[in-house]
Structures are given as structure tokens and as C-alpha cells.
Chain A
Amino acid sequence: MASVWFNQEMRETTGFTGTVEVEGKNIRTVIANLEIQFPGISEVLIYEDDIMPGLSVIIDGNIGSIGVLEKVNENSEVHFLPALGGG
């Protein structure tokens, strides 16, 4: 199972402050399974069936580029952090 780290909004939405083990082969199913454990959490992660604009998905230290379609491996570590631009 993937280990999902909670960012500030996820913590404030759910009251949960740790990391959680979640089933899922991609980010879409990971979030769907998170929603079962933490109703309402998808509202801070999902917008119109994709990752919330301004968020990026980081899996095992790698910044994803295809949002909810990103593959998640067994024992992956998943973070939802601000998307970063640059100069």
C-alpha cells in the first residue's frame, strides 16, 4: 500500500495529522480510497476530476506531470504539495 503524507489543508480538513496507508494503483484510486477513510478530503485534492490546480503530486520524490493518472507503486510515498513555477 502507498503511504500518503497529509499536507496542511488535508490535516485541517480531516483532523488527521499523520501518514496513512492507502490502496491504489494510481493517484485517482488512492484519492478515492482516501475519501472513504476521510470523507471530504477529495475536496482539497480534486477539481473537476483532476488534481486541484496549484497542487502537484510527488511520488517517491518525483514530481508527477499527469495528475490523477500518475502510477503508484506498492510502498510508494505520496505527497500533495504546491506546484512550483519559476523564473
Chain B
Amino acid sequence: MLKPDYKSNIILSETEYDTVGKRVKRYDATDKVTGAANYSGDVHPAGYIHGKILRSPHAHAKIIKIDTSKALELPGVVAVVTSEDFPVLNGLAVDLGEGAMQNPMFLSNFCIAKDKVLFKGHAVAGVSATSKLIAEQALNLIEVEYEVLKPVMRPEEAIKPDAPILHDRLVTINSTTIRAGGVSADELPKDKQTNLANKFEFALGDVEKGFKDADVIVEKETKTEAVHQGYIEPQTSTVRWGSDGYLTMWTSSQGHFAMRDLTAMLLGIPQSKIKSIQMEIGGGFGGKTIVYSEPIAAMLSKKSGGSPVKITLNRTEVFEGTGPTSATNVKIKLGAKSNGKITAVQAKLYYGSGAFPGSPVLPGARCMTAPYDIPNAHIEGYDICTNLPKSTAYRAPGSPTASFAMEIAVDELAEKLGIEPLEFRAINGSKEGTRQASGPVFGKIGFLETLQAAKDHEHYKSKLEGPYRGRGIASGFWFNGSGPSSAIASVTADGTINLVEGSPDIGGSRTAVSMQLAEVLGIDATNIKPSIGDTDTIGFTSVTGGSGVAFKTGIACYEAGLDIKRQMVERAAKIWDVETSDVEYENGEIKHSSDSQLRMTFKEMAGKLNATGGPIIGRAAVSPGSPGNAFATHIVDVEVDPGTGKVTILRYTSVQDAGKAIHPTYVEGQMQGGVAQGIGWALNEEYFYNDEGKMMNASFLDYRMPTALDLPMLDTVIVEVANPSHPYGVRGVGEVCIVPPLAALSNAIKQAIGTRLTQLPMNPARVLEAIDNNK
């Protein structure tokens, strides 16, 4: 089917490096396994006190009155804050100057409710006290009078004419620009009020003609529930508002600069007044890219006379008060000719944004058809407010649920046409020059290579036999992101380098970027000592997200390395009294181009710096574009228990284009982690609500995420089709791996039981129902 231009499952990269591509020891390993690493919960500044948050017991209610007087009278209580203590911000979206687009009013009202509570767990007030126990007792003394309203939890329900309205000033925008919703100056008349924040479309070619040309057409509708990122470490925020007006904050986040900037915006103070210190992070997956309790901790500190206030969320608060990803409803129509060529696609994506606008429906709409070259496409997206916590990014935001609909339609279309599913994907697969439904053409990409590697894999060639067993295939796409990033590399006299960079390390990035610095300098990676600087120490660096750190901060470190090389060449020329143009830097050695006696190792040169002109510090601040697109293809074998409906995963293989795997072990770990989360999303996980909109499974006991005991070894195949925009060919790897599992499992279950499930999670009850209906 495809050109067999490489050996099965052999990495395509033909370039060998000294450090890049090797499995070097990770820098944070010892501290993490010995417990020495400091997380946000380990912060105990002198004189700190405890903060707790009062949360709404209702999913939707007006706040009539808040009386905090009894709480303030409790001995040990230091301060109480409500929304009245925060600046009133307008609803005009603002750019924070470095790429972060926010609607201040919505974000402020998300952190602490103003006139209405919009989801169960919505913060209503904060308390600081001398002990946790007193703070918790004080919460019980705050009297809140509510007018309880009917909630609406599903996006398709929230746009019905009689749906409860969350925001009486929300105006629907029609924009393919990411904006945080429209707001009218005044309350809208009832008949104009809506929960629809945004609707948009992408159109390519002539869809009507495309379907006329099709020999076979399939139509599918999928539904998915909100799921949580499920990071192990709950958020802790500790903030000290000093008497000099400067704040220090310690957070668990994916972007301490973002925490600084968002907190400053919500407090109405300049960014420069805040120093944000990044701690080690116990998982984020997109969920720790925005503020939650940080502004409350800050305001409590101010009202507590500057005492540092520490707020640690418990697991129930994490589930109920921090962002899950969207519940979705997707309708898709897909047509193809008998030769397997897809002629047209039409789709409508309804994504719940939670309490405030901003679901990932836009990236979902752009990702869902990206693996395929389809000449005629019409895709509509709807961003809809519902009574859940504001949706937050979760690993390839928007793509898994959109791809779920697309990939089961692809599977069914292939089946109807009698074409093997990998072959069908190859017939239609995107490659360099393919035009996406949203318009742009792809540059160098590696989708077809993932299909070929999957086809060549022993898993795919093996036979799967036995009753109630099935094999599923699915592919997926994620754009990958980039952004500004900064790095400072200081050469130490002993020949090592202290590297300070600005990207919080959530997936091994300090190792990956250090390896790139080591590679460019031709020194051993163990001679790099990386750390993540606070916001006063290092230049602005955008959040660790979009699978972008190995790319953008990798380039920053690469450039900082080039800066060191340039300075070392100049210094050597000065020491040897020769022209700079006669000095070369090669493989960790500085040498004269013609005089073989004049040469120094990097370490020898490092030892001479202070006496020959002072230290050498390499630095770089970059904002690189074109992070390279990521594609993946997965194969899964399942066995269904017809008595219980339980799905057991027998074997799973993920194939992914990494561009260049800087540290293959980390890449494999990302792939396995994404697959595990995708399996949980497909089979078990969901926000389960009662009729009052109250989450009934807000603990890890009841919110069923897969553990190592639930899964077989997850096999990985790294394909390397170099990204031409990175010096070593890096593409992001952290997100696309969560995209295919949802559909791959649905397709496998279809093979196993003969019925296609289109609603997630495909838990035992749902599978059993499908088996019974099929009898």
C-alpha cells in the first residue's frame, strides 16, 4: 500500500548524535525517588497560616446574601474574603501581552463567584486561620442565602430554547478566533439570552457535490462526558503579600509566568509586583495552566496583615472545583467512493465549556479530519456554557472526542467498502502538501509513516482468535504548540554548566532541553545542571503545554549553547592572540584551524575564564514558530466478558511520529501515559451527576482511572520524520498519544461484540446493554 522505504519499526532518522537520542540519566530522579524533591505542598514559609475555601453546594443558584460575621468572631480566624474584596473587572477580553488571552470578568467570577454560583464546588468565600481545623470550622459559620436554579449539564441540552440560562449578558460570537465569549453591556431581554458562546465553521470545496460523488455514506453521532486530567498532586497555592506591596507565590502549575500574570490581572496589580516560584509538579496534563485558588490566597494574605496563606485543595475540591475537559456531542457524515477515496465530510461539534466560555471545540474542529486528505468539508463548532467547572485544557484539548467520532466513521466506512482499515487510512492519508479542512496545507509530516510502521508491526500481523475478541485501529492528530521561551547557561570553572530555564518540568523537559545544550556544545549531558528559574530570575517563558517545551525551550538551550561557543571562540582567540576567524569549536574542543598546538577542551577553557576576561554566560530568548505536527496510529486487542460487560485489554501498540526523540525513554513514557489516560476516558471515566447537578463520584475511589493492574504492557513504536523547523527535528510528543485510544477501543469492541458503541464511557453496563440489544 505504501512505499516500503524503511525497515519495519526502525527509527527513520538517519542522523546519529552524541547525546540527542540517548537514554541519559534523568536529573530529577534521585530527588524524586528519595522524597527530597519539593512540591507545592512542601512550602512552609515563616509565619504561614492556613486558608480554606467555602464552595457552593448547588450547581446553579443566585447568591442572595453572604454573612461572614460569625466566622470572623471565631477565635483563630484571621480574615475572610468574598468577591466583594476583588476588583470589578470588565468583560472585554484582554491580551496579557505575551500571548495569554483572557476575559478578566469570567476568570475572576470563576475563581470566586460574584452574583451566581454556576457549578457545585464554585468558590464563594475564603477563610484564613491559625489552623486548618479552625479554618474548616469557620467555613461552617459563613451563612450564604441562595436562590436555587435548575442546572443544565449537557451541551446539546443547554442550547434548547427552554434551557436554564447561566449568564444573562452572554452574547454569541461567530468567530474562528479564540475569544473568551462576548458580553453585552446590559442584561439582555429573556428572549435574547443564550448559553451559546460561540459558533463557527470551516468550509472547503463543495460538500454537496462531494456526497453526490460518494458511493457509500455513513453517519454517526457520539456523546462523551466530562473527564478530569486526574493529576496525582492536588493544587497547593501559598502566597505572601508583603508589607512593601510585593507578592511572592509558590504554586503547582504548568506555567509560573501565567500564574503571575493571571493573578496580577485578577488582583488589579502590575505583574512586576509578583514573584512566582515554580515548584516540582505532580502532573498537570493541561489542568494546571490557569489560576484557581491563587488569587484567594493572595487576598487572604493581604487581609491577614501579610502573613503567608497556604491553601491546599483536597481531592473532592480538585474534581469539583478545577477544570475537567468538555462533555461533547458530535455528529458526523462521511462519504467515499467504492475505491476507498473519501469525497466529503460534514460535522457538527457541540462542546460544553462548563460555567464560562472557552471549550476546546476550535482545536477539535481543526483536528478531527486532519489525518485525511478530504477535498470537500464543512465543519461547524459550538461552544456552550453548562453548569460544570470551566473546562480546562486536557492533553490535545478537543481532539480526542472529535477524533472519536471521525475514527469510528472511518472504520465503518472502510468496513462497508470492504477495505482493510489501515489500507483505507493510507488511501486517504495526509502528507506534505495536503490541504486541511481549515485551509492550510501541511508541511513535512509523518502520518503515512505511522501507518506503515503499524502495518509492519508484529502485533498487526498476529492473529486474534476466540469469541468476544476484537482488534481496533485508530489514528489521531495534534498540532503541537510553541511560544516564547528563555534560557541562561552559565559556564562554571570546573567545566560544567548551570542551566536556568523557564519551563516547568512536567514530563522530563529539563533533561530533554539539557541534552540539546550538551549536544550543541559537544559535552557530556551529566555536565549540565538544570533548574527552573522563578519569574524574577529568568525571562518570560510560556506555559508548559501544547507539547511544546522540548521544541521551544530546546531551541532556547540550543541558541544559548551557540552563544557560549561564539564567546569561547572569541576568548580563545584572545588568549592565543590570533584572529577569531582562525579558531574553531568542534566536538567540545576549541582549536586553531591550522596550528595543532593551540587547542583546549571545553573544561580547560572553562577553568581559564575568570582570569581572561570573566565568566561566559550563554543566553537566548526565542519565540519559534512551526513546532511540527504530530500523528499517531494505535492498535488494540480486547476481550469482552459477555456476562459482565467488562472490557479487558489484551494488547496495545501505539505508533507515533516524534520527529526526533531526544530521550526515547521519556517519549515512550509520554506515549504510554497518553494511552493509559485515553483508555480510562474510553472505558470508565466520567463526571457522574445526579439530577441536581451534583457530582456523585468526586474521589479516586469512585472516579475510576486505570491503574497498572488494569493494563498490559503498552508497546510503543517511535517513528522519526524530522521537523525541519528544529535543529534536531523535534516534534511535540506529549499529547497526540491520547487521541486514538477512544475510537480504537470502540472499533475493537465492535469487532468483539458486533455492536458499535458511540457513547463514552464504554463501561460494563453500557457494553452489557449493547450485547443484550444485539441478541
Contact = CB atoms under 8 A, between A and B. Distances in A.
B439 to A, nearest CB: 5
Nearest to B95: A53
Interface string B427-440: 00000000000111
A87 B101 contact: no
B440 A61 contact: yes
Given A12-B174, A85-B481, A66 B623 contact: yes
B289 interface: yes
Interface in B133-158: none
A82 B479 CA distance: 12
B37 interface: no
30 contacts: A7-B176, A8-B175, A8-B202, A9-B174, A9-B177, A44-B177, A47-B95, A53-B101, A55-B177, A61-B440, A61-B442, A61-B443, A64-B625, A65-B623, A65-B624, A66-B623, A70-B625, A79-B439, A81-B366, A82-B178, A84-B178, A84-B479, A84-B546, A85-B363, A85-B545, A86-B546, A86-B548, A87-B285, A87-B289, A87-B394
Contact of A81 (B94, B101, B289, B440): B440
Interface of A: 5, 7-9, 12, 44, 47, 52-55, 58, 60-66, 70, 77, 79, 81-87
A54 B200 CA distance: 14
A60 B179 CA distance: 25
A9 B179 CA distance: 13
A63 B625 contact: yes
A14 B174 CA distance: 14
B393 A65 contact: no
Contacts of A84: 178, 362-363, 366, 479, 481, 546
Contacts of A85: 178, 289, 363, 393, 397, 481, 543, 545-546
Contacts of B438: 79, 81
B482 interface: yes
Nearest to B173: A9
Contacts of A5: 439-440
B492 interface: no
Contacts of B229: 87
A54 to B, nearest CB: 4
A55 B178 CA distance: 7
Interface in B254-307: 284-287, 289
Interface string B17-46: 000000000000000000000000000000
A87 B179 contact: no
Interface in B456-482: 478-482
A62 B483 CA distance: 14
Contacts of A64: 625
Contacts of A9: 174-177
Contacts of A65: 482-483, 623-625
Contacts of A8: 174-176, 200-202
Nearest to B362: A82
Nearest to B479: A84
Contact of B735 (A60, A61, A66, A87): A87
Nearest to A50: B95
A77 to B, nearest CB: 7
Of residues A54, A62, A83, A85, which shows the largest number of chain B Cβ atoms within 10 Å of its Cβ?
A85
A87 B286 contact: yes
A63 B546 contact: no
Interface in B382-398: 393-397
B725 interface: yes
B397 A53 contact: no
A86 B176 contact: no
A10 to B, nearest CB: 9
A79 B440 contact: yes
Nearest to A57: B625
Contacts of B735: 86-87
Interface residues on B, range: 35 or more
B93 interface: yes
Given A66-B625, A84-B479, 16 more contacts: A5-B440, A8-B176, A53-B95, A54-B177, A63-B625, A65-B625, A79-B438, A82-B178, A83-B99, A84-B546, A85-B481, A85-B545, A86-B481, A86-B547, A86-B735, A87-B284
Contacts of B547: 86
B561 interface: no
B91 interface: no
Contacts of B363: 82, 84-85
Residue from A52, A64, A65 having most chain B Cβ neighbours under 10 A: A65
| Smallest CB-CB A-B distances: 4 pairs | A87-B286, A86-B546, A53-B95, A65-B625
B441 A77 contact: yes
A61 to B, nearest CB: 4
Contact of A86 (B99, B201, B393): B393
B396 A83 contact: no
Residue picked from A54, A60, A62, A79, most chain B C-beta under 10 Å: A54
B626 interface: yes
Contacts of B548: 86
Nearest to A10: B176
B193 to A, nearest CB: 23
A46 B220 CA distance: 39
B533 interface: no
Contacts of A79: 438-440
A87 B395 CA distance: 4
B627 interface: yes
A64 B624 CA distance: 8
Interface string B82-119: 00000000000111000101000000000000000000
A40 to B, nearest CB: 15
B397 A86 contact: yes
A58 B366 CA distance: 14
Contacts of B393: 85-87
A79 B438 CA distance: 9
A24 to B, nearest CB: 18
Contacts of A55: 177
A2 to B, nearest CB: 13
Contacts of B546: 84-87
B444 to A, nearest CB: 9
A87 B397 contact: yes
B177 A86 contact: no
B243 to A, nearest CB: 35
B178 A86 contact: no
A12 B547 CA distance: 33
A82 B366 CA distance: 9
A70 B627 CA distance: 16
A87 B670 CA distance: 13
B135 to A, nearest CB: 32
Nearest to A55: B177
